[in-house]
Structure 1
């Protein structure tokens, strides 16, 4: 853990008598991470940030100079990006786009809309003609392949609400060629088949499969393709398992003949988790330590209403203990030493658990617990207002290890 995180925790703790509860986002770390990612990418590729992982405005601002653009999946997300930049390229995805969302996407000059169904395509053709607005689209395709890596979350290669089955390709193209369509233009294809893949070599194989499919479609239907969006899905490990090896991935891409032969066709990637996960910290204070039968529980100020990822994924979330000195009570301070403890939150539900049977050297009531790797899918997927507890504070590390 960054030493500066501990410094922030101590300073924040000293400034308030309330138990500490906060998110700390390392914006400088995110920027350096993305700069390193882009350095190794082949020239035919572009990096977008999928803001669903964390749509914090300060993170969007921090990434603006370093990514090609942003991927959004709702009008709410679209507005957050446009609040930061009126001109940055935006990709608009999601399986349930409403008419008003498609109209807003046109108004806000979306670069590409990912079309997820034949009905959505027909609606878009009607709305674009009505508004006299020319729109570029990528058809999101659900392709069957045996080369998909095995992950906890799969959106393609099987029955899914995402994308258009490849058997419907001809029907989609025929809709685009109908006389009524004067404003919607096919520019390429979008693929996003899985989430949190750890295997760099298999990820390259999957992309090769995408590129082969597109080549087949180009020759079969006489298509001119400008963009192939290969989605995200790059994995972050929350245990001892090695995470996704980005340098290996980009090295294999650079050596790939299929990528080298893309010509003017651009290959997009739109990771979210992989960009921000390692640069967020959820900091909470231990409120109580108690025994129940033969098990020890540490109750924290906070829980899954602030960080739902552990409960959602069913994993133990990595953490560190930061000792804090303050103990204002006249009675003995509860603590545990060289013991197992289950870390739970303040909610009235047994599902409010962040770590089961953690082995800790020392933990006291009043110490801080720092849940690392909390930059993605932690705060924004949580049920913030369940039971009405206060929200955490938010702090941002900026250039020179300053924080705000």
Structure 2
């Protein structure tokens, strides 16, 4: 079994629940398991640790399954969406929960749908988007509450992230130098009402100290514009951007973002800056990653050109995250003793092995040259931290393989909901 990640974020590997599931299945296993009880506890912990002036929204792009949204309803302060389809997913579980709507490519139909579905705040990403929203809102005899999304001119030198959406040329947000003109334009348009700013420039930051430096920069920008233009913002959306460490991409493969330290530092920042607006976080991956497991049986173990390979009943068409991020995803092995064949069982012991899916492409690799004590055909590989950006970013129907079973496990009552 390979070494597991630091438990400060990753779910305790509840072997009994996983084992119970395996023992209940006949034939090969390929499934997602989501621990809803753990998700409830985690969301409540994250929300309660924030200073009182902050709100925690869930970015549903990470995992938009209805049982996940239902679990997070009232355990977060609302939902962040990036399409009309996501708005409708949220409204299907609750007609009143606050929704904030981001994304650079909002169509007229999406803007109109957002107004129809009573979205609380729309994040405006360009002058054209602002003018279209004003035009649509006036035609509907409505006024849209908006935040202007800022692409800052620069970020603190120690800002650490896997992805950057700001501080450099990207499709996201409005260039910082254009914000004064955009503020004036927003104030002149009768169909919109400026409520604040949206500053979300980095993604997957694992360092709490550098993230505090980024937030301090955001607060300074917002307060400077308030003072300069005699505004009173109600909201500053600072995005998500808080990362999950999946392993080898970082100097310490087992360190996770220190939420407790971050919240303490954030309270100190608020005491120093004394902002009068609410600070909104819109986390996705950081909330749901550790509620999910992806399980795939080993269909074959073989050696080619001196390297060992395990072929899984599954792969990147179900769980694209490792291929997308180019990392070795953390996993553990659950043994399955049943062996129905009258010939030897393919096995690798005490050696590095590469875990591959069933697709006809060499890119279908979920972990490469990772040491295992033992792995046999018929055993089950359990990928951890699979609750976010797993199924939902994958190319499900490539080669028309069967979809995995998706199980929502309420471990407190030992009940299961299946999809």
Report the TM range for the smaller structure's normalisation: over 0.9
Partner of 1:275: 287
In the TM superposition, 1:162-311 aligns within 5 A as: 162-178=172-188, 181-239=189-247, 240-257=253-270, 261-263=274-276, 265-311=277-323
Partner of 1:53: 62
- Please give the alpha-carbon distance, in whole angstroms, between the structure 2 residues aligned to 1:20 and 1:160: 42
Q: Residues 323 and 23 from structure 1, CA distance in 2 versus in 1: closer, same or farther, beyond 3 angstroms?
A: same
In the TM superposition, 1:28-107 aligns within 5 A as: 28-107=37-116
Answer yes or no: is the 8 Å Cα contact 1:395–1:403 preserved in 2. Answer: no
1:358 aligns with one of 363, 370, 380: 370
Tell me how far 1:399 sits from its aligned partner: 4.9
- Please give the alpha-carbon distance, in whole angstroms, between the structure 2 residues aligned to 1:398 and 1:42: 29
Partner of 1:375: 387
Tell me how far 1:152 sits from its aligned partner: 1.6
TM-score, reference length from structure 1: 0.96
Answer yes or no: is the 8 Å Cα contact 1:281–1:371 preserved in 2. Answer: yes
1:394 aligns with one of 406, 411, 418: 406
- Whether 2:136 is the aligned partner of 1:127: answer yes
- Whether 2:350 is the aligned partner of 1:338: answer yes
Answer yes or no: is the 8 Å Cα contact 2:334–2:380 preserved in 1. Answer: yes
Partner of 1:400: helix, strand, or coil? coil
Answer yes or no: is the 8 Å Cα contact 1:151–1:196 preserved in 2. Answer: yes
User: What are the Cα deviations for residues 18-68 of structure 1, in whole angstroms up to 9, with x where unaligned?
Assistant: 310000111111111111112221111000000011111111100102111
Partner of 1:147: 156
Partner of 1:204: helix, strand, or coil? helix
Partner of 1:348: 360
- Please give the alpha-carbon distance, in whole angstroms, between the structure 1 residues aligned to 2:14 and 2:400: 28
User: What are the Cα deviations for residues 194-229 of structure 1, in whole angstroms up to 9, with x where unaligned?
Assistant: 111011111111111111111111121121200000
Tell me how far 1:258 sits from its aligned partner: 5.2
TM-score, reference length from structure 2: 0.93
Partner of 2:43: helix, strand, or coil? helix
User: What are the Cα deviations for residues 143-186 of structure 1, in whole angstroms up to 9, with x where unaligned?
Assistant: 122416122211010001000001111221232233xx222100
- Whether 2:169 is the aligned partner of 1:156: answer no
What is the root-mean-square deviation in Å for CA atoms of aligned residues? 1.5
- Please give the alpha-carbon distance, in whole angstroms, between the structure 1 residues aligned to 2:17 and 2:268: 43
Could you tell me which runs of 5 or more consecutive residues in structure 1 were left unpaired when the two chains were aligned.
none
- Please give the alpha-carbon distance, in whole angstroms, between the structure 2 residues aligned to 1:167 and 1:114: 18
Could you tell me which runs of 5 or more consecutive residues in structure 2 were left unpaired when the two chains were aligned.
5-10, 248-252
Tell me how far 1:245 sits from its aligned partner: 0.5
- Whether 2:327 is the aligned partner of 1:319: answer no
Q: Residues 284 and 396 from structure 1, CA distance in 2 versus in 1: closer, same or farther, beyond 3 angstroms?
A: same
Q: Residues 293 and 355 from structure 1, CA distance in 2 versus in 1: closer, same or farther, beyond 3 angstroms?
A: same
Deviates more, 1:382-391 or 1:202-211: 202-211
User: What are the Cα deviations for residues 309-330 of structure 1, in whole angstroms up to 9, with x where unaligned?
Assistant: 1100000000000001111111
Tell me how far 1:17 sits from its aligned partner: 3.2
Answer yes or no: is the 8 Å Cα contact 1:338–1:362 preserved in 2. Answer: yes
Structure 1 ranges of 4+ moved more than 6 A:
1-4
- Please give the alpha-carbon distance, in whole angstroms, between the structure 1 residues aligned to 2:40 and 2:178: 41
- Please give the alpha-carbon distance, in whole angstroms, between the structure 1 residues aligned to 2:44 and 2:22: 33
Answer yes or no: is the 8 Å Cα contact 1:208–1:258 preserved in 2. Answer: no
- Please give the alpha-carbon distance, in whole angstroms, between the structure 2 residues aligned to 1:269 and 1:257: 14
- Please give the alpha-carbon distance, in whole angstroms, between the structure 2 residues aligned to 1:320 and 1:51: 27
Answer yes or no: is the 8 Å Cα contact 1:47–1:269 preserved in 2. Answer: yes
Partner of 1:380: helix, strand, or coil? helix
Partner of 1:62: helix, strand, or coil? helix
User: What are the Cα deviations for residues 110-155 of structure 1, in whole angstroms up to 9, with x where unaligned?
Assistant: 0000001110000000000000112100000001224161222110
